[in-house]
Amino acid sequence: MAEDDSEWVVESIVGYLGSPEWVIPVTDFMENKCTVFDAEDENKLSYTEIHQQYKNLVEKLLENYMQEVGINEQQFLTACTSPYAKSKTLQVVFQPVLATDDFQMFRSLMVRKNMELQLQALRVIKERNGALPECLTDGVDVMTELQQQEMKILEEVLKKSKEEYDEEMSRRVLLEEEVGSTSSGCSDNPMAESSKQLISSSASSQEISTVKVNGKSIISEQRKTAAPEGGDGKSAAKIGSSAKPDCGSKTVESRVLPAVRAPVKCDEPHASSSPQTKTQSSSNQTAETWLEEAHREAGFSKPFTELSASQQEQLQQRAAYLRQQRDKLHALKREQQKNKQATTTEEPPTSPTPAPTTTPAISAEERKKLQKRKHLADKLKEEVIKK
């Protein structure tokens, strides 16, 4: 196959991976099956079954697609292994495909999806101003240990995204005020409507913020063994099927590898010439990221500048929308963060009120409140997902 061939094949594949034919069944699958995936180190046996189902799904989808478009496995492979497909941006797009062959990656996608759903549900509740309908507050005090565990993870996620948020904010110093005020706006959609929307649209905007956290909670820290090096085989008896020379390397270094490679941020904006709307002069970088995010989400495979005017506009809108979603989420997280500052000892110094770093834990009352929310989130999630 010719070199230039692979490029259009990649474009086509990327287009497919952004199309409803792919996104809907894959997202459905993940949302339906992610609830059992927690961030515990140990895997449940059921994960394996779900991974197998996922493999079957992806295989079926890709086979159909390839048949339709008329490319064979060899073309598919050549295209996907081309340098173009290996760019960081596209690697993220390919993740759900690679996850068929990589259990660890699959697991991390599922854990992340689960957290996203929980966060979104929390957010919806928060947007409803925290007023809990009577019918939903029953049995709130029954928190299983597992739920408490999940709560801790959620807190961790919120903490991390707060940190990232602060980082981002310090880059956008000039805009701080404005963002702060826009983000407090509440959605006035009916609840079901808005939560649906959230699940479909803010998933990708969250990706960036949750990815790192997720990675952190799963990736075992890199450590080196101070391995007692060779020559200490004292009592270590050895009998083998064949006498083998000792492995020459006395400097054996075994270390833990990150179990999961954290997905990379999209840092190759190709729409660098795009006109910046509004006041974003100091945040080209960020805006471009959003634009690209939108670009990818919308499934356009052409570079931004080659799109029609209406497509460009659509993308700009989409980018603005994503940015807005993200800002809202950040605002929520920031608010929640305030409630929990007592626990966040590694709080960046940018926080308005200095955190009392000596207080070891959040108050019982605070925790109870959070638990209530969490419980609600679970219920809500059930509702939303089953629809």
Residue 224 phi, psi dihedral angles, 5° rounding: -105, 140
Would you count residue 47 as binding another protein (CB under 8 A)? yes
Would you count residue 238 as binding another protein (CB under 8 A)? yes
**Minimum distance from residue 241 beta carbon to another protein (Å):** 5
Burial 160-195 (b: 16+ CB within 10 A, else e): bbbbbbbebbeeeeebeeebeeebeeebeeebeebb
What string marks each residue from 103 to 122 as x (binds another protein by CB under 8 A) or -?
A: xx------------------
Would you count residue 240 as binding another protein (CB under 8 A)? yes
Binding residues for another protein restricted to 151-210, rule: CB under 8 A: none
Specify the stretch interacting with another protein by CB under 8 A; choose among 79-87, 182-190, 206-214, 299-307: 79-87
Specify the stretch interacting with another protein by CB under 8 A; choose among 120-128, 141-149, 246-254, 305-313: 246-254
Would you count residue 89 as binding another protein (CB under 8 A)? no
Burial 264-277 (b: 16+ CB within 10 A, else e): eebeebbbeebeee
Neighbour-count burial of 47, counting CB atoms closer than 10 A to its CB (0-12 exposed, 13-18 middle, 19+ buried): middle
Query: Which secondary-structure segment (H or E) carries 188?
Result: none
Site size with another protein, rule: CB under 8 A: 58
Which of 242, 310, 353, 358 contacts another protein by CB under 8 A?
A: 242
Cβ proximity to another protein: between 62 and 111 the closer is: 62
C-beta separation of 127 from 191 below 8 A: no
**Minimum distance from residue 207 beta carbon to another protein (Å):** 19
Specify the stretch interacting with another protein by CB under 8 A; choose among 24-32, 39-47, 187-195, 344-352: 39-47
In sequence order, the β-bridge partners of residue 224 are: 255
Would you count residue 86 as binding another protein (CB under 8 A)? yes
Would you count residue 247 as binding another protein (CB under 8 A)? yes
Specify the stretch interacting with another protein by CB under 8 A; choose among 156-164, 199-207, 221-229, 336-344: 221-229
Would you count residue 11 as binding another protein (CB under 8 A)? no
C-beta separation of 381 from 117 below 8 A: yes
End-to-end, the C-alpha distance of the chain in Å comes to 45
Which of 129, 254, 273, 308 contacts another protein by CB under 8 A?
A: 254
Which of 130, 252, 345, 350 contacts another protein by CB under 8 A?
A: 252
C-beta separation of 157 from 377 below 8 A: no
C-beta separation of 110 from 378 below 8 A: no
Burial 360-375 (b: 16+ CB within 10 A, else e): eebeeeebeebbbbbb
Question: Which tokens go with 314?
Answer: 């659509």
What string marks each residue from 257 to 296 as x (binds another protein by CB under 8 A) or -?
A: xxx-------------------------------------
Would you count residue 145 as binding another protein (CB under 8 A)? no
Read off the DSSP letter of residue 236: -
CA distance 186 to 63: 43
Specify the stretch interacting with another protein by CB under 8 A; choose among 47-55, 137-145, 343-351, 352-360: 47-55
Which of 55, 128, 172, 270 contacts another protein by CB under 8 A?
A: 55
**Minimum distance from residue 63 beta carbon to another protein (Å):** 6
C-beta separation of 210 from 159 below 8 A: no
Greatest Cα-to-Cα distance within the chain, rounded to the nearest angstrom: 76
Specify the stretch interacting with another protein by CB under 8 A; choose among 24-32, 151-159, 184-192, 232-240: 232-240
Length of the chain: 387
Contact positions vs another protein (CB under 8 A): 41-45, 47-48, 55, 58-59, 62-63, 73, 76-77, 80-81, 86, 91, 94, 97-98, 100-104, 220, 223-225, 227-228, 230, 232-242, 244-247, 249, 252-259
